[in-house]
Amino acid sequence: MKRNRKIGANFAAVCVGVALAAGATVAAAGNEAGKQVGESGETARVATDAAKSNGANGANGENGANGENGAAKSNGANGGNAERQDGEARTRRAVEEAVASTVDEPEKLRRLDKTAPIWVSSDRKRVVLGGVVCLREGPLEFFACRRGSKEHESVVSLDVAPHLIHAALLAIGAKQGKPAKFDPEFVPPTGEEIEIELRWRDAESGAVRKIRAQETVREAETGCEMSAPWVFTGGLFGVDAEGKKYYLANVTGEIFGVSNFPGSVLDVPFESSSDNALLTFEANTEKIPPTGTPTALILTRKNKPNGATFGAERKK
């Protein structure tokens, strides 16, 4: 499985790189890269959601056939769905506007997907993600999660399949390492350090705000802002009941962790418990914009492997 993982990752980088070199939108390349990196789990999730939706529609139809009360319920459900879809569309537009208005040289960004808010700069130096602030208070296991997964313990929610983020990081040349190991003894995550900057437009002044993602996270015990970097572990692959590979984070929603989870695309390079009673970090409320604020996340390489900077700081 490790060999297949390496082949898939390399192919993803080639797919995205060719599209970027051509100056094209990279939706098709991103989709193909996603298949190679391990999209079967995502396909299963979408298929399951579709099945649920079809089942609900079928039930609504049956209720409608049974009488006016059933029809009323069906119409109410359809109205609720339409309202939800309108809300999601407004959020997507707000996120797109936040990226366009806060990121430097937005004209140099190339889309990695037709609908997901993820871009790679044409010079292959930046990955840009659009997200929404989902939490300002409480314990954290992640800085960012996939929408609809772990918003109760993450600062930012991203409506982006994690395998696309993996592919985008490979496209800018980031070197992936390995996730944390827990048995027979703990081995910390490794990988190239990735810097994350959070940007948004202040609702009152209209000014663009910029902070390092670490500033939104603080140590629960000391109240100090997080000093650790994130490293590109690359996450893990699972195998479904039919023997097909899937990218684990696509299912779990684990993207940028502050507690060690093997599926996270980025993780902290030291032992950080995921036990709810022992969580190391919490939201740094004063530095986080209001819940629902559309944001841009800018990812860049630090060209430092395995959290070397943080390791040196800890020895002082």
Residue 173 to residue 95: CA distance in whole angstroms: 26
SS (H, E, C) the chain: CHHHHHHHHHHHHHHHHHHHHHCCCCHHHHHHHHHHHHEHHHHHHHHHHHHHHHHHHHHHHHHHHHCHHHHHHHHHHHHHHHHHHHHHHHHHHHHHHHHHHHCCCHHHEEECCCCCCEEEECCCCCEEEEEEECCCCCEECEEEEECCCCHHHEEEEECCCHHHHHHHHHHCCCCECCCCECCCCCECCCEEEEEEEEEEECCCCCCEEEEEHHHHEEECCCCCECCCCEEECCCCEEECCCCCEEEHHHHHCEEEECCCCCCCCEECCCCCCCCHHHCCEEECHHHCCCCCCEEEEEEEEEEEECCHHHHHHHHC
Task: Give the C-alpha distances (Å, rounded to integers) separating 227 from 34, 246, 253, 268.
Answer: 32, 32, 24, 10
Give yes or no for a contact between 130 and 111, defined as CB atoms under 8 angstroms apart. Answer: no
Q: Let me know: does 107 contact 217? Beta carbons within 8 Å.
A: no
Determine if residue 138 is left, alpha or beta; phi over 0 gives left, psi from -120 to 50 gives alpha, anything else beta: left
Residue 271 has what pLDDT?
A: 83
What is the C-alpha separation between 117 and 160, in angstroms, rounded? 7
Token pair of 17, please?
């790189």
User: Quick one: pLDDT at residue 76?
Assistant: 54
Q: How far apart are CA 208 and CA 64, in angstroms?
A: 50
> CA Rg, the chain, in Å?
20
> d(Cα 140, Cα 142) in Å, to the nearest integer?
6
Domain containing 131: what range?
2-315
Q: Are strands 154-158 and 142-146 parallel, antiparallel or unpaired?
A: parallel
* Rounded mean pLDDT for each run of 10 residues along the chain, 316 residues in total: 41 44 40 43 35 37 44 54 81 94 96 95 97 96 96 97 97 94 90 97 95 96 94 91 93 94 94 69 96 97 68 43
Domain count, the chain: 1
